[in-house]
Amino acid sequence: MNEISWTIHKAKETPIKTLIVSFFLLAVLLFFLFFYGLLWTLIAILVFFISLNNYFLPIYYTLTEKSIIIDKKIFKFQREWKDFRRYYLTSNGIVLSPFSKKNFLDNFRGLHLLLPKEKDAIINFIKNRFSAINSNPQ
């Protein structure tokens, strides 16, 4: 297996939650429009979009033999496997850490990949990549 891909779209996965959040956002935006005007409403829309795009827009992950590619529609970035030393599972994903031992900077310097419900193949792919990295030091 040379490549594995998956998509995470939180808004589609939890439609009731998305509906509740959408009504709340609409209410806040209407509040801003009536009490603060159009300029502050546009600023609020921009702030909401920047902070909530990971929830409302799909995220595409691709793991290849050489790199991890994350496409968030707004931007796309790529990191190489050699940048990471270990991994650990979280409640809704996996963190790839640049540190060989547990470090308080893991959450800041590491890369958090959200995983779908069917995650076993992805975890096995990552385990195999780390086995290959550790057996062939560069």
Residue range 44-57, pLDDT digits in tens: 999 999 999 999 99
User: Between helices 38-56 and 15-36, what is the axis angle to 10°?
Assistant: 170
pLDDT > 90: percent of the chain: 68
For position 74, what pLDDT does the model report? 85
Quick count: other Cβ atoms within 10 Å of Cβ 51?
A: 9
Find, among 24, 126, 44, 27, the residue nearest to 84 by Cα.
Answer: 126
For position 136, what pLDDT does the model report? 58
* Band (134; pLDDT cuts 50, 70, 90): low
What are 64-108's pLDDT values in tens digits?
999 999 999 888 999 999 899 989 998 889 999 988 888 888 878
Q: Say which residue the tokens 């995220």 belong to.
A: 59
CA atoms of 105 and 97, how far apart (whole Å)? 9
Average pLDDT, rounded, for the chain: 90
Structure tokens at 65: 């033999």
* Band (1; pLDDT cuts 50, 70, 90): low
